[in-house]
Structure 1
Amino acid sequence: MHISNQGILVILFIGLVAGWLAGKIVRGTGFGLIGDILVGIAGALVANLLLPKLGIHIGTGVIREIINAAIGAVILLLVVRLVRTGGRF
């Protein structure tokens, strides 16, 4: 698999936007630039596993990827919050 430099920049941009958006939705304090990118990328992986199995297909292109990654990042942040607080939100 070969990813060009432009592809890496797109992945990082989508991860950053999705991580920031998920932090705002979940009302967290944020994880900083690198943390938001990592949460966004991990959220994109979660969303790419879950959403097609649920039959959810949203839009096309970069906007779809940002929305999917944000949904996955929100799910990820809620699970992390649930584990950290011992089952309470």
Structure 2
Amino acid sequence: MNLREPGIMEAVVEKYGAERLKNAYMNNLELALKEIKNTFNRLPEKIVENVIITADHGDMLGEKGIYGHGHNEYPSLREVPWLEVEG
């Protein structure tokens, strides 16, 4: 039983549909990764040894009918990416 108030992601799905939400989410991720790459490339070479890129939580995009990140019992919310780049 889900007693929490609907969030912004549910509102977007209701207004635009789940596929559009997923596309927007992936487009935003691509933009963020591009900016990370640009930032990394602007750093002076001598200060870059190791860079770690991670996140604080995941997001549900309709799995089990859930959107957002208010349900900590799902591994996709707790297990986040960890990318380590050696300079």
Structure having the larger proportion of residues in strand: 2
Question: Which one has the largest radius of gyration?
Answer: 2
Structure having the larger proportion of residues in helix: 1
TM over 0.5: no
Length-normalised TM-score, structure 2: 0.32
Length-normalised TM-score, structure 1: 0.31
